[in-house]
Amino acid sequence: MPTILITGGAGFLGSHLCERFLTEGYDVICMDNFLTGSRENIRHLLAEQRFTLIEHDVTTYIQIDGDVNFILHFASPASPIDYVKYPIQTLKVGSLGTHNALGLAKAKNARLLLASTSEVYGDPLVHPQREDYWGNVNPIGVRGVYDEAKRFAEAITMAYHRYHGVETRIVRIFNTYGPRMRIDDGRAIPAFLSQALRGEDVTVFGDGSQTRSVCYVDDLVEGIYRLLLSDEVLPTNIGNPDEVTMLELAQEIIAMTNSTSTIVFKDLPQDDPKIRRPDNTKAQSLLGWQPRIARAEGLRKTMEYFRAKI
């Protein structure tokens, strides 16, 4: 069976991908330096014979013995709290880390899928966001370390494909949620759930009118799996177009948890996108993919995970 290396494999998305590819019969190598990943996310996989954990920082040279057929490059801080706390590490993993992962793909004749992000669109002036939109990003703002790291990662991935002939795929991931998100992640759903379950004030930034389109993790993993095995080289959006305001989302979570929490408003962070919704036309036509799990169902599953943690 093929061998797949998943960088950032102990993270929220990485750990779900490790599970999926083990289920599909792959030998899975999970690589993580645990800057933001967690051993708890993969503890249940350690006894699997086809699972290998390597603790390593991908911004330094990557050495893997034996064959590697596929690489999923998911190593990176991925929430505003993380990339503001670790700005240099975020830039390095997007640049040096991607360079090293591509170098390994070239050496092993492996196919590499880059985890990019809807953040490459910045605070978009086009709605919904199509893959041919170039974005509206502040390169020197506090969020720029993540946005520009991912934009560079896309550029070097395409350069390796065009110049070296490396097989590459690029997924632009929109807001995703589910079990194994960190309670202190800083993103809206973990924050709202943890505050509501504790009976604390639920913090909404700005007036709550800014929107996100949230995708349950199982749907995202299915889209990534299909994209990896497709022939598409150019970036592809994977996300749920079910758009919701942050105020509506906070109200839904308070009601779902039967919480006594009240909503409080705080200033909107710098460069926080006002709108966000993927145009999934390409994924639907190319991959036959569309999200299937409704927000209410996904939030219930996520709530149970957080309830057990709090």
Task: Determine whether 146 is an active site residue.
Answer: yes
What is the value of pTM for the model shown? 0.97
Query: Which listed residue (83, 121, 146, 225) is catalytic?
Result: 146
pLDDT the model gives residue 236: 98
**Which CATH number applies to 178-212+242-276+294-303?**
3.90.25.10
Locus of tokens 């009118």: 209
Q: pLDDT by residue for the chain (310 residues), tens digit each?
A: 999 999 999 999 999 999 999 999 999 999 999 999 999 999 999 999 999 999 999 999 999 999 999 999 999 999 989 998 999 999 999 999 999 999 999 999 999 999 999 999 999 999 999 999 999 999 999 999 999 999 999 999 999 999 999 999 999 999 999 999 999 888 999 999 999 999 999 999 999 999 999 999 999 999 999 999 999 999 999 999 999 999 999 999 999 999 999 999 999 888 888 999 999 999 999 999 999 999 999 999 999 999 999 8
**Dihedral of alpha carbons 130, 136, 141, 144, sign:** positive
Question: Any idea where the domains of the chain sit in the sequence?
Answer: 3-176+215-238, 178-212+242-276+294-303
- For the domain made up of 3-176+215-238, give the CATH fold: Rossmann fold (3.40.50)
